[in-house]
Amino acid sequence: MTESHNRRPLISAGTLLGVGMGGFVDGILFHQLLQLHNMLSAKYPVRGVDARTLAVNLEINMFWDGLFHVFTWVMTSIGIALLWHAVHEKKVPLTTRTFVGSLSLGWGLFNLVEGIIDHHILHIHHVVETSNHLVWDLTFLGAGVVLIVFGSWLIRSDRPASPEGHRTASP
């Protein structure tokens, strides 16, 4: 890559957007729609408890899920700001391959870090709150690794011709 190319701003933006979007998929799909786990569901279960405990545990989990969504929103917002900056830099080649690779890299990093910390170190929740949760938790980590490898491959295999060649003429 010549000195006139600098893909780092695009990769940084895409990676943070991937972290945020991966977090939103996790929170919306797993926490809300499928209701498989919440942020503290291993500590404050919502299944197999009496009605009063259920009400309290739902409130606790909802609050921590909200904080989780604040984190994903902040990551996405920073990613958008970095992307805005990147598209205004003439030395940054704007390629779909690098951008999609960065999104995949970020989503994979989210899965890997969140899975290791929350599922395996802190044990605050698991992908599925059952006795065989380890299989699900390891699958979640495996998906993260696959996303990281795929994203890294896309980024490394991209060879932009020139930064100017990927832009429309400005007025």
pLDDT for res 161: 65
CA distance 160 to 38: 42
Distance CA 17, CA 83 (A): 9
Of the pLDDT bands very low, low, confident and very high (cuts 50, 70, 90), residue 169 is: very low
In a domain, 2, yes or no: no
| 171 found inside a domain | no
157 found inside a domain:
yes
What pLDDT score does 37 carry? Answer: 85
Please state at what angle helix 8-25 crosses helix 51-87, rounded to 10 degrees.
160
AA identity, residue 9? P
Domain count, the chain: 1
- Domain boundaries, position 99: 8-165
C-alpha to C-alpha distance for 31 and 42, rounded to whole angstroms = 13
Residues of the chain with pLDDT > 90: what percent?
Answer: 82
In the predicted model, what is the mean pLDDT of the chain?
A: 91
Query: What one-letter code names the amino acid at 32?
Result: Q
**What pLDDT is recorded for position 2?**
46
What confidence category does residue 110 fall into, taking pLDDT thresholds of 50, 70 and 90?
A: very high
Work out whether the CA dihedral 50, 56, 59, 60 comes out positive or negative: negative
Q: Torsions phi, psi of 141, nearest 5?
A: -65, -40
How high is the pLDDT of residue 164? Answer: 54
Give this prediction's pTM.
0.89
